[in-house]
Amino acid sequence: MQWDIYCRVVDNFGDIGVSWRLARALAQRSPHAVRLFVDDWATLRRLLPRAPAVPAPFVDSKVSVQPWAVAEVPTTLADCVIEAFGCALPPIYLAAMRDAQTPPVWINLEYLSAEDWIEDCHGLPSPDPATGLAKTFFFPGFTARSGGLIREPDVFSRRDAAQAETGRHQWLAAHGGADVSASAQWISLFSYDNPRLVPRLTDWQVSETPVVLWVPEGTAWRGLMPWLGESHAAQTCWQRGALTVCALPFLSMADYDRLLAMCDVNFVRGEDSFVRAQWAARPFVWQAYPQADAAHVDKMDAFLGRYLTTADTESAAAFEAMWRDWNGLGAQEQAWQRFSAALPTLRQHARQWCDQIAATDGLVERLVKMVQPDVK
């Protein structure tokens, strides 16, 4: 069976990150061929440095990666075509689907949500007015009635290796300065622009215990560098009171997963890192992608409602206060101090939550069952 996935890059690395993970997981989990069509080659090359400098088809991890232009001329139709996040298929491909004797199964991969309403919409077909073909909506989510989450077969073995006693020392040998402590509280930061960053930096600077903040290359540096009094990352590590800030280059997906697994707390954003933080089974703080109509607040509240169901009242309150503060929903008094005090309990809860959502089929298994219900 041939699978085609189409991705237009809109949100920096979010759209392509999810699409690449899905393509790779499909190729790993099923005996089928997978093609991934991408419109932004420069962004793709940041994730996949082995991609040709000039857009051209290549194969990585059994996935055939194609420039978008390949689909703007006649090409073979897949058995299943996945339109990532309503990106709109090339007109010539749509025309071929319409004229085919047996049209492909057409899936619209939606954004991840914990909201209740997605369960009633997941798996529903909708007729496309331009072609008359049925397009099925696939909603990733956290319940049995949703599309699930992308989960590679080796995600937990890699996590456990990173969390072994030698994990941090191995990381420091490759990325850390001589003065970076393996026993300090480690925090990772991956965020959009956020005015609440400075209060957190101040909290960590005056912390009673040493804090190491790992910051991969990206948007977070725009808020961080002025606070450090630097115009650019001219060095690797900076010391400010109890806080050590460590600059990292752009990380591969595998190295970012490894960093999440080793840190005591992870600040993440968007969709892909949000899911990866949950597989890391460590406490995390999510920055939802800000939307003008405040829809991101509904998404955040829906997730908190699910995630904190079994948490004790005090820990749940500290967790929610930290998230609301970080998402600009009103400064919460002593937000970090309360969150930090609750970390031992929140760490246990993070592992329990990870085990809970890993106990059911992942997104790929649910997708294959939807497309091929008779295949075991």
Stretch (H or E) spanning 346: helix 343-358
pLDDT of residue 231: 64
Domain region containing 108: 3-148+361-371
User: Which residue type occupies 35?
Assistant: R
Same domain membership, residue 186 and residue 135: no
Same domain membership, residue 365 and residue 243: no
What's the DSSP call for residue 78?
P
Which among 102, 73, 107, 111 is positioned nearest to 90, based on CA atoms?
73
pLDDT of residue 330: 87
pLDDT bin (cut points 50, 70, 90) of residue 373 is confident
d(CA 216, CA 267): 12
Q: Helices 253-262 and 14-29 meet at what angle, rounded to 10?
A: 100
Catalytic sites, residue numbers? 15, 271
376 within a domain of the structure (yes/no): no
Reduced to 3 states, what is the DSSP secondary structure of residue 54? coil
pLDDT bin (cut points 50, 70, 90) of residue 315 is very high
Q: Domain total for the chain?
A: 2
Same domain membership, residue 340 and residue 198: yes
With beta carbons less than 8 A apart as the criterion, state whether 58 and 66 touch. Answer: no
122 within a domain of the structure (yes/no): yes
Those residues whose C-beta lies under 8 Å from the C-beta of residue 207, and which sit 6 or more positions away, are 185, 241, 242, 243, 340
d(CA 158, CA 150): 15
Same domain membership, residue 46 and residue 78: yes
The predicted-structure confidence for 199-242, as pLDDT tens digits, reads as follows 999 999 999 999 999 999 889 988 898 999 876 655 688 999 99
Arithmetic mean of pLDDT, 292-296: 84
Instruction: Catalogue the E-assigned strands of the chain.
Output: 2-7, 33-38, 58-60, 63-67, 80-84, 105-109, 125-127, 134-138, 185-189, 211-216, 237-240, 243-248, 265-269, 284-287
Same domain membership, residue 315 and residue 262: yes
> pTM here?
0.94
